[in-house]
């Protein structure tokens, strides 16, 4: 009896703790700047200024160009990473590449070192290659960073497909490319979508690489543009910053909610 009561109570407490920051974000982003007080952050007020604050954040941060750039980064880079990761998994599992585990470790080894360790050489290399502050440069680095995780998931997933499928396709005269494109990729749809969603969310929320490798309004990602609202001198009001944070967070929330079933099924099939 005690367990029946204790478990829901614990889950309820954890749910409240998890939702508390979201409550603070929405309540304070909806306040007029003149009515915001740091000692009353938990208290909602009668005036609703969320729409005005969202509009001010959009205009002050110059989010129009940043949205275009970030959509490009968070669609193109994860899509390329998923295809490359699927090709790596296909080569190791289906083609039974010689020393396949070594090549997999070599690809996945890119996640061993913290990103902060390579920022300086990465910055220098981008400048020397003349791709600093370009959309091409950011797409390239986002793709490279996303490939190891995609390769891990796709290797696990494709390992669950019987090798007889590949052998039967070879007997029927299908080429390796055709087998990969027409058989293995369609069979991996859920896993591909799950990896894409995770990596797209990572790219959308990235701040560190955007700050390091971009500086112009046309190239910098959303999170980097949003930091412009918090300048040390002449920064925007806190309610505007909160409204901007809420605005740039909505697309990822909508993405997860709209693809929840596919996402869950893909992770389960990916043997997480």
* pLDDT classification of 266: cutoffs 50, 70, 90: low
What pLDDT is recorded for position 81? 94
Q: Is residue 200 one of the residues assigned to a domain?
A: yes
Please give the Cα distance from 84 to 192 (Å, whole number).
11
Q: Is residue 4 one of the residues assigned to a domain?
A: no
Closest CA to 268 of 155, 190, 152, 163: 190
Closest CA to 69 of 210, 190, 201, 193: 210
Q: Is residue 28 one of the residues assigned to a domain?
A: no
CATH label of the domain that carries residue 244? 1.10.3720.10
For residue 201, is pLDDT > 50? yes
Mean pLDDT rounded to a whole number for the chain: 84
Please give the Cα distance from 269 to 158 (Å, whole number).
10
Q: How far is CA 211 from the centre of its chain?
A: 16
Q: Is residue 65 one of the residues assigned to a domain?
A: yes
Please give the Cα distance from 177 to 181 (Å, whole number).
6
Distances (CA, A) of 229 to 146, 161, 249: 29, 50, 16
Q: Is residue 196 one of the residues assigned to a domain?
A: yes
What pLDDT is recorded for position 203? 93
Per the structure, the complete domain to which residue 112 belongs is given by 55-269
- pLDDT tens, 15-49? 888 888 888 888 888 888 777 776 677 877 777 77
Q: Is residue 22 one of the residues assigned to a domain?
A: no
For residue 213, is pLDDT > 60? yes
Please give the Cα distance from 34 to 85 (Å, whole number).
51
- pLDDT tens, 239-259? 888 888 888 888 888 887 777
- Give 233's DSSP letter: T
Q: Is residue 158 one of the residues assigned to a domain?
A: yes
What pLDDT is recorded for position 46? 73
Q: 236: which 2 tokens?
A: 């925007």
- pLDDT tens, 40-67? 778 777 777 788 888 888 877 677 788 8
- pLDDT tens, 71-90? 999 999 999 999 999 999 89
Q: Is residue 29 one of the residues assigned to a domain?
A: no
What pLDDT is recorded for position 271? 47
Q: How far is CA 104 from the centre of its chain?
A: 22
* pLDDT classification of 232: cutoffs 50, 70, 90: very low
Find the length of the chain: 272
DSSP output for 182-223: IIIHHHTHHHHHHHHHHHHHHHHT--HHHHHH--STTTS-HH
DSSP output for 94-105: TS--TTHHHHHH
Please give the Cα distance from 165 to 104 (Å, whole number).
22
**Domain total for the chain?**
1
Distances (CA, A) of 41 to 15, 22, 68, 236: 20, 12, 33, 18
The torsion angle over the Cα atoms of residues 228, 229, 235 and 240, rounded to 10 degrees, is: 180
């Amino acid at each position: 009896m005690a367990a029946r009561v204790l478990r829901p109570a614990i889950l309820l407490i954890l749910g409240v703790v998890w939702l508390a920051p979201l409550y603070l974000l929405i309540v304070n982003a909806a306040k007029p700047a003149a009515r915001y007080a740091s000692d009353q952050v938990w208290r909602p007020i009668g005036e609703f200024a969320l729409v005005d604050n969202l509009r001010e954040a959009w205009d002050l941060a110059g989010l129009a160009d940043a949205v275009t750039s970030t959509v490009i980064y968070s669609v193109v880079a994860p899509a390329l990473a998923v295809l490359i990761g699927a090709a790596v998994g296909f080569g190791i599992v289906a083609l039974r590449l010689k020393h396949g585990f070594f090549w997999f470790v070599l690809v996945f080894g890119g996640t061993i070192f913290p990103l902060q360790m390579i920022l300086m050489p990465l910055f220098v290399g981008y400048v020397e290659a003349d791709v600093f502050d370009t959309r091409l440069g950011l797409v390239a680095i986002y793709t490279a960073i996303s490939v190891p995780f995609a390769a891990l998931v796709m290797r696990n997933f494709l390992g669950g497909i019987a090798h007889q499928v590949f052998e039967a396709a070879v007997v029927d005269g299908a080429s390796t490319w055709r087998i990969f494109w027409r058989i293995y990729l369609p069979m991996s749809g859920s896993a591909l979508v799950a990896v894409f969603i995770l990596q797209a969310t990572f790219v959308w929320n990235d701040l560190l690489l955007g700050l390091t490798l971009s500086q112009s309004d046309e190239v910098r990602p959303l999170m980097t543009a949003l930091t412009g609202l918090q300048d040390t001198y002449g920064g925007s009001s806190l309610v505007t910053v909160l409204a901007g944070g809420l605005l740039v967070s909505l697309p990822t929330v909508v993405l997860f909610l709209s693809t929840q079933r596919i996402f869950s099924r893909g992770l389960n099939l990916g043997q997480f």
